[in-house]
Amino acid sequence: MATRKASTTRKTAKQQPCPDCQTGQVSESFQVGGRSKRQSDDRQEALCLTCFGTGHAPTE
């Protein structure tokens, strides 16, 4: 009788999207000016610090 080999592959869970950004980038305001910094009305893109730009929710 032949013996069966045990499977050693692991099923990977489907990646969940990041709850903060969904795409890996967030939009944030920035300060302008020489001495007296003031908030600009414009926005700039930055990497999401929760998922580090991957767009997937962190595991653990």
| Distance from C-alpha of 52 to C-alpha of 58, rounded to nearest angstrom | 9
Taking 70 as the threshold, does the pLDDT of residue 60 lie above it? no
| Domain membership flag for residue 54 | yes
In a domain, 5, yes or no: no
Q: Is the pLDDT of residue 40 over 80?
A: yes
Q: Would residue 22 count as lying in a domain?
A: yes
Q: Is residue 11 part of a domain?
A: no
pLDDT, one tens digit per residue, over 11-36 is: 666 778 888 887 888 888 888 888 88
- Residue 3 included in any domain: no
Q: Note whether 26 and 20 are within 8 A (CB).
A: yes
Query: How many separate domains does the chain show?
Result: 1
Question: Is 53 a member of any domain?
Answer: yes
pTM score above 0.75: no
Cross-strand partners of 25: 47
Structure confidence at residue 6 as a pLDDT band (50, 70, 90): confident
- Give pLDDT, residue 35: 87
Kindly state whether residue 34 falls inside one of the protein's structural domains.
Answer: yes
Domain of residue 59, residue span: 17-60
